[in-house]
């Protein structure tokens, strides 16, 4: 009897349906490695705002500061490691560089933000030590720090962001030393941009206008500590007007918008070489008109002056191609179609990217991209990706890829990548998309 029961049980077991296979799950997208950035002067103003913003966005921030109180406050922030860093002290700079290298994260970004305003004074009344103080921080500081961290930035093909100022092309009276230092930063950024492009590093300058930071208060305090007063000088009224114009009471906007531009300069596939950040149209017009006035002065009454029509043509050409990272922009053009018949969700987005695919063990470095709202458009989609040819290394491999996303969820991806082996010349490619997992019907 037991033998019959055993045979029956075996038959039932063999007849039972096999458990259903779990639905195919698309492979998880590789998570990009956390990028690291060093910010000098991170204790207040633009530096503190950028530290908080970038850390909240997932960057690991090495935050440079001088006082122990500031270092302790910065260390309380998530994704932040405070480091003692006075940009006038080479020993602290190279100690910081050794620390960053030893930690093994690498360094993708450097934000040269530390700066001082100096005591307001007529240039002919200023002492040499006043100019030395301003230049030591505002000009030699970025040079020292960039030089020390350049090998790490070259390894990551990263970014240098120099915080310049609207004073880098508009010099106000009584603020001559500060304006001189920021004009120097503009020249430094231009020369450094061309030199570091050879290493694949992009250099960006940011020119903030008037924002509520501590720089004017610090300058006024320094003037008081030195016992300087312009009350009985011909410049007394001009000094009062200058300090009032730049005081926090007259400047309503804080540093957060400049911090967002710093993030964009670090994150954008094709960052602008210059970024004017002002609080109102009047300040923007003032800066642009000053630059145009310089052009008019340079063109005035010499044997090789240009007429108005030629100048307008030059301006149109510059507006059409302002450049990125200091170089003439190149482009990849093409189309994106479908390998199969699909229907897209209303919020679907096509992302087409030019990427460095040289290393299979690292996240692809994006040189340029275009986002296309897919819903309601006709197939194929045309695209144009602009990129800086200075970032192309002929020893590396580059490709154009496309994908369709819906709220961050990957739906479709191009079934092959088209190599880009040219340097500078436009390249045309055509991509076809295939589904990842189940496609919407």
What positions carry a catalytic annotation? 178
Dihedral of CA 241/242/243/246: which sign? Answer: positive
Assign 377 to helix, strand or coil.
coil
Assign 385 to helix, strand or coil.
strand
What is the Cα–Cα distance from 318 to 4, expressed in whole angstroms?
Answer: 93
Reference 197, options 110, 109, 327, 385; nearest CA is 327
What is the Cα–Cα distance from 112 to 47, expressed in whole angstroms?
Answer: 9
**Helices (runs of H) and strands (runs of E) counted in the chain:** 12, 15
Half-sphere exposure of 10 (CA within 13 A, CB side): 6
364 contacts: CB under 8 Å, gap ≥ 6: 353, 355, 356, 357
Strands 349-356 and 365-373: antiparallel
Task: Count the neighbouring beta carbons within 10 Å of the beta carbon of residue 425.
Answer: 8
Residue for token pair 């030089």: 147
80 contacts: CB under 8 Å, gap ≥ 6: 51, 55, 60, 61, 63, 74
Tell me the sheet residues that pair with 349.
373, 405
What is the Cα–Cα distance from 120 to 299, expressed in whole angstroms?
Answer: 33
What is the Cα–Cα distance from 95 to 160, expressed in whole angstroms?
Answer: 19
Task: Count the neighbouring beta carbons within 10 Å of the beta carbon of residue 324.
Answer: 24
CA distances (Å), origin 177, targets 170, 219, 222, 233: 12, 12, 14, 19
Q: What is the DSSP string of 257-304?
A: HHHHHHHHHHH-SS--SEEEE-SSHHHHHHHHHHHHHHHHHHTSSSTT
Tell me the sheet residues that pair with 409.
406
Query: Is-contact 141 40, C-beta < 8 A?
Result: yes
């Amino acid at each position: 009897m037991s033998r019959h029961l055993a045979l029956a049980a075996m038959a039932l077991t063999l007849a039972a349906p096999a458990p259903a296979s779990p639905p195919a799950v698309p492979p998880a997208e590789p998570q990009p490695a956390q990028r690291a950035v060093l910010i000098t002067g991170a204790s207040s103003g633009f530096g503190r705002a950028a530290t908080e913003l970038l850390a909240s966005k997932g960057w690991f921030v090495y935050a440079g500061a001088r006082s122990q109180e500031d270092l302790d406050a910065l260390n309380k922030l998530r994704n932040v490691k405070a480091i003692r860093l006075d940009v006038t002290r080479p020993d602290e700079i190279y100690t910081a560089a050794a620390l960053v290298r030893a930690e093994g994260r690498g360094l993708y970004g450097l934000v040269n933000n530390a700066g001082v305003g100096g005591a307001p004074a007529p240039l002919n009344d200023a002492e040499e030590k006043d100019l030395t103080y301003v230049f030591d921080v505002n000009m030699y500081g970025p040079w020292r720090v960039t030089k020390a961290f350049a090998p790490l930035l070259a390894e990551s093909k990263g970014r240098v962001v120099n915080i310049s100022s609207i004073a880098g092309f508009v010099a106000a009276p009584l603020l001559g030393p500060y304006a001189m230092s920021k004009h120097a930063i503009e020249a430094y950024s231009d020369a450094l941009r061309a030199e570091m492009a050879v290493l694949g590093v992009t250099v960006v300058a940011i020119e903030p206008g008037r924002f509520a930071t501590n720089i004017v208060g610090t300058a006024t305090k320094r003037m008081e500590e030195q016992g300087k007063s312009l009350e009985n000088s011909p410049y007394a009224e001009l000094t009062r007007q200058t300090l009032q114009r730049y005081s926090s009471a007259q400047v309503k906007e804080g540093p957060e918008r400049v911090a967002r531009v710093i993030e964009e300069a670090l994150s954008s596939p094709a960052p602008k070489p210059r970024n004017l950040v002002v609080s109102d149209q009047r300040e923007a017009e003032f800066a642009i008109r000053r630059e145009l006035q310089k052009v008019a002065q340079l063109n005035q009454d010499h044997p090789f002056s240009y007429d108005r029509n030629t100048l307008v043509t030059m301006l149109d050409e510059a507006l059409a191609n302002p450049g990125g990272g200091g170089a003439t922009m190149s482009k990849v053009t093409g189309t994106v179609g479908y390998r199969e018949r699909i229907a897209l969700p209303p919020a679907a987005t096509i992302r087409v990217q030019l990427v460095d695919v040289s290393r299979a063990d690292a996240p692809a470095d994006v040189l340029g991209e275009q986002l296309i709202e897919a819903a309601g458009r006709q197939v194929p989609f045309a695209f144009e990706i602009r990129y800086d040819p200075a970032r192309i290394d002929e020893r590396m491999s580059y490709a154009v890829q496309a994908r369709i996303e819906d709220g961050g969820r990957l739906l479709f991806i191009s079934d092959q990548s088209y190599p880009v082996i040219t340097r500078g010349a436009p390249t045309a490619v055509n991509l076809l998309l295939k589904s990842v997992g189940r496609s919407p019907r």
